[in-house]
Structure 1
Amino acid sequence: METAPVVDPAQRRIVTVLSLVQVVGGVGNGAGLAVGALLVKDVSGSSGWAGMAVVMLTLGAAGFTMPLSSIAARTGRRPALALGWLLGASGAGVIIAGAEIESLPVLLAGLLLFGASTAANLQSRFAAVDRAAPGQVGLALSLVVWSTTVGAVIGPNLTGPGATVADAVGLPDLAGPMLFSAAGFAVAGLLTALLLRPDPLIRVEGAKPAARGVRAALPHVRGRAATAIFAIAASHAVMVAVMALTPVHMEDHGASLNVIGLTISLHIAGMFALSPLMGVLSDRWGADRTILLGQSILLLAVFVAGTSGHSEVQITVGLTILGIGWSASVIAGAAMLTQAIAVVDRPVVQGFSDLSMNLAGALGGLLAGIVVALSGFGTLNAAAAVLTVPVIGLVLAGRRVAAAVA
């Protein structure tokens, strides 16, 4: 008879607090995603610059990932996550200033700083599994990801109310949602600092990881860990590339701000709402199979979105499916990575994974603007589909090796 796994008594509290923080922080992230590209387009006067919004957001997330991971390795998850959220709040404030004075450099700098909130958001999912039982890694991780759904779905729909608030305080309409972002991130940071106790990474027995930085992570990036990191990065690049230019594509075809906000909201719901299912699939069906499922869904998504033309319904369906494919791939990839790395080495390797993920997203957003400017939204989706091929190949190769060893 099998013995039930011993559950850390602090684990439930940790997941609950992280989930609460994700709800609040998700409002800020959702609001920022909905208007970032439109703000850059408005201030720069060019659709070609619009993709730089997601580029700067993801570069910011990438830039803060390893410093926050190093802080976590040295002092624990709580100070690292709290700092990330508070830096994101500062970034929202800089974005508002950039919109007010119509300065593109200030706006881009604010978006870069805003990206720290994304780094905190991503590292929260790993904090949820620091004390999780081995057979519940995917579920614990996905529950925290799922909690982002509430705030992230509300956020993009604050575009209209944000414009009303902006008018009341004398700001440009598109800067309004950033007021909600600043408030959401500030509250998320304070909740983390006050309630995330005990710290997830500081074990009961007092052991803390000491290794920090990219050099400490690289020796562990091999085998299943390398496959997981590549799958996460490539899937994120597909999602960011298509999502980044969708608001501009829709606005160019006459869609209202409310319709654009609803589309991004449903896309984010696709990313997060089914994450517990993806976590359970990863735990019970296998992370590799779940990644393959995610790649198949991404292929369907880019076909639907890329052939949408003027159809607001079809582009919304495509973006929703895109979020679901991202969810399956990224959650299963994160679970595979966590299971492949010893606890003491996890913070820096997970940080390297998030760094790779955000750099891939930044590159995807940058190239997306160029591709759309040169050849259109349909070509962008076709190019994104190509990125699924090496992921599928790596996962299948890993399964063959595992079968041969067995």
Structure 2
Amino acid sequence: MTREAIVADPVQRRILTVLVLGQLLAGAGLAAGVTVGALLAEDLLGGPGLSGLPSALFTGGSALAAILVGRLSQARGRRPGLAAGFAFGALGAVGIVVAAAMGSLTLLFLAFVVYGAGTATNLQARYAGADLATETTRARSLSYVLLGTTVGAVAGPNLVGPMGSVADTLGLPTLAGPFLLSAVAYGGAAVVLALFLRPDPLLEARRRETAGLAGDGSAAVSSSPPTSSSRTGSTTPDEDSSAARPRVWNADVITGVVVMALTQFVMVGLMTMTPVHMRAHDHAVTLVGLVISLHVAAMFLPAPVSGWLVDKFGTRLVAVAAGVVLLTAGVLAALAPPDSTTLVAVALILLGVGWSLGLVAGTTVLTTSVPTDVRATVQGQADVAVALSGAAGGLVSGLVFAWIDFRGLGIALAALSLIVVAAVRP
């Protein structure tokens, strides 16, 4: 199916356009924490042992934000939920800059938690792209939103040097510079979505279901919305969500969440320690930024292909492919000579591709299986599991790196990737 067919509905086309524009900005905000968060912590802490803590904190913060953004989206729609999430991400980035200038570890760690709201919202936006999609185009629709992250996320790490110069000019620590970019980028994304994400995709999906229409405006394909005529009593979606869980959290949905969570753990674990590993072997920070930008490009650029593969071959096969690619990435990272930037970069590219396959496959299962009356809440709960898994990956990776080495970390994460394959066996 062509891209034109996927976005034939003018409302869906407008929504995807606005979401992609927001993601273009948000991607740049995402890149700072990925690229220099561990390096900033290492400088302030005086060693690499807890350099994975910022990653753990902002992914842990993203878990909390996923709940709040999901609940706000469920109650008020995607627009206020996503705009608020990016606004808090911008606030967290400002806090990190202030903490770095003051040399305050307490403020730094608190700010990283708030900064995680941007990460959570960046991922939650993919669900908005699928709200009005049809059954046969859902994976590709959400993948276009992920693709929108690419430009900003790739450009961000390569702006580490220039933004460091800006920070120097302002009398700030060099590594605080990328977070200045994050504050502007997340703030810009919040403004774009608050002003232009109209009609709200989730509310419009509910309206269409009430009117008996599908995502393309033709025929209903999903479950009924939360209206007084379709429910007994006057409970709200949040109040009724606990009763809905037995039918919502079925084996397929749980499998999708497991795939996303394991994929996130492996990706965050290896990605977080790569900058520390490279700097320990005298690679320039600009070179570190280049490797991370290639990794981030591999996370988001193949998203339409991942979506097409899911629509064509199904979620199980693509999830298995994700596990195999992640396994290969871990082994290659472990075996790559420390001075070989090329092999480390290839390993990080494979890591990004594996993450893309796993995320799109898991998200498609989740979105397809959950009705709109509880969709945003359940998606928020699922992203909590994904974020907590990423937080654990960031924290554990620093400990393994300090106790063993980067090679041991790569092998351990490669072995963990096998669980992704096992989780989706028929």
Superposition TM-score tier, normalisation by shorter sequence: over 0.9
1:137-176 to structure 2, matched below 5 A, reads: 137-176=138-177
Q: In the aligned structure 2, how far is the partner of 1:266 from the partner of 1:208?
A: 43
Does residue 125 of the first structure (1) align with residue 126 of the second (2)?
yes
Return closer, same or farther for 1:217/1:94 CA change in 2, 3 Å cut-off. Answer: farther
Return closer, same or farther for 1:198/1:230 CA change in 2, 3 Å cut-off. Answer: same
Cα RMSD for the two superposed structures: 1.7
Please report how far the alpha carbon of residue 197 of structure 1 lies from its aligned counterpart in structure 2 after TM superposition. 0.2
Q: In the aligned structure 2, how far is the partner of 1:5 from the partner of 1:149?
A: 20
The amino acid that maps onto 2:357 is: A
Equivalent position SS for 1:201: helix
1:207-356 to structure 2, matched below 5 A, reads: 207=225, 210-212=236-238, 215=242, 218-219=245-246, 220-310=248-338, 311-356=340-385
Please report how far the alpha carbon of residue 342 of structure 1 lies from its aligned counterpart in structure 2 after TM superposition. 1.7
Does residue 396 of the first structure (1) align with residue 397 of the second (2)?
no
Aligned residues of 2:324 and 2:421 also touching (Cα < 8 A):
no
Please report how far the alpha carbon of residue 115 of structure 1 lies from its aligned counterpart in structure 2 after TM superposition. 0.3
Q: In the aligned structure 1, how far is the partner of 2:335 from the partner of 2:58?
A: 27
Aligned residues of 1:297 and 1:325 also touching (Cα < 8 A):
yes
Q: TM-score, normalised by structure 2?
A: 0.89
Q: In the aligned structure 2, how far is the partner of 1:208 from the partner of 1:81?
A: 21
The aligned residue for residue 188 of structure 1 is: 189
Which of 397, 403, 407 does residue 378 from structure 1 map onto? 407
| Deviations, residues 364-401 of structure 1 (Å, cap 9, x unaligned) | 1111111111111111111112222232122113xxxx
Return closer, same or farther for 1:193/1:217 CA change in 2, 3 Å cut-off. Answer: farther
Q: In the aligned structure 2, how far is the partner of 1:216 from the partner of 1:301?
A: 41
The amino acid that maps onto 1:50 is: S
Please report how far the alpha carbon of residue 7 of structure 1 lies from its aligned counterpart in structure 2 after TM superposition. 5.7
| Deviations, residues 229-262 of structure 1 (Å, cap 9, x unaligned) | 0000001100000001110000001010000000
Equivalent position SS for 2:201: coil
Return closer, same or farther for 1:320/1:6 CA change in 2, 3 Å cut-off. Answer: closer
Q: In the aligned structure 2, how far is the partner of 1:216 from the partner of 1:66?
A: 18
| Deviations, residues 315-347 of structure 1 (Å, cap 9, x unaligned) | 111011100010011111101111122222211
Please report how far the alpha carbon of residue 284 of structure 1 lies from its aligned counterpart in structure 2 after TM superposition. 1.1
Q: In the aligned structure 2, how far is the partner of 1:18 from the partner of 1:390?
A: 33
Return closer, same or farther for 1:381/1:107 CA change in 2, 3 Å cut-off. Answer: same
Aligned residues of 1:217 and 1:352 also touching (Cα < 8 A):
no
Q: In the aligned structure 1, how far is the partner of 2:60 from the partner of 2:255?
A: 22
Structure 2, unmatched stretches of 5+, are: 211-224, 228-235
| Deviations, residues 201-255 of structure 1 (Å, cap 9, x unaligned) | 1023465584238846743222110100000000110000000111000000101
The aligned residue for residue 402 of structure 1 is: none
Which 10-residue stretch deviates more, 266-275 or 199-208? 199-208
Aligned residues of 2:7 and 2:13 also touching (Cα < 8 A):
no
Which of 344, 358, 362 does residue 391 from structure 2 map onto? 362
Aligned residues of 2:329 and 2:414 also touching (Cα < 8 A):
no
Equivalent position SS for 1:255: coil
The aligned residue for residue 200 of structure 1 is: 201
The aligned residue for residue 219 of structure 2 is: none
Does residue 37 of the first structure (1) align with residue 38 of the second (2)?
yes
Structure 1, unmatched stretches of 5+, are: 398-406
Please report how far the alpha carbon of residue 31 of structure 1 lies from its aligned counterpart in structure 2 after TM superposition. 2.4
Q: TM-score, normalised by structure 1?
A: 0.94
Return closer, same or farther for 1:218/1:307 CA change in 2, 3 Å cut-off. Answer: farther
Equivalent position SS for 1:10: helix
The aligned residue for residue 86 of structure 1 is: 87
Please report how far the alpha carbon of residue 5 of structure 1 lies from its aligned counterpart in structure 2 after TM superposition. 9.5
Q: In the aligned structure 2, how far is the partner of 1:237 from the partner of 1:118?
A: 15
The amino acid that maps onto 2:113 is: L
* Aligned-residue identity in percent: 40
1:84-123 to structure 2, matched below 5 A, reads: 84-123=85-124
| Deviations, residues 131-157 of structure 1 (Å, cap 9, x unaligned) | 101100000010000110000000011
Q: In the aligned structure 1, how far is the partner of 2:243 from the partner of 2:270?
A: 33
Q: In the aligned structure 2, how far is the partner of 1:191 from the partner of 1:387?
A: 39
Q: In the aligned structure 1, how far is the partner of 2:244 from the partner of 2:343?
A: 42
| Deviations, residues 143-180 of structure 1 (Å, cap 9, x unaligned) | 00011000000001111001110111110100011111
Equivalent position SS for 1:327: helix
Aligned residues of 2:33 and 2:55 also touching (Cα < 8 A):
no
Please report how far the alpha carbon of residue 353 of structure 1 lies from its aligned counterpart in structure 2 after TM superposition. 1.3
Return closer, same or farther for 1:208/1:265 CA change in 2, 3 Å cut-off. Answer: farther
Q: In the aligned structure 2, how far is the partner of 1:54 from the partner of 1:212?
A: 30
Return closer, same or farther for 1:216/1:94 CA change in 2, 3 Å cut-off. Answer: farther
| Deviations, residues 93-123 of structure 1 (Å, cap 9, x unaligned) | 0000110011111111111100000111111
Equivalent position SS for 1:202: helix
Return closer, same or farther for 1:157/1:141 CA change in 2, 3 Å cut-off. Answer: same
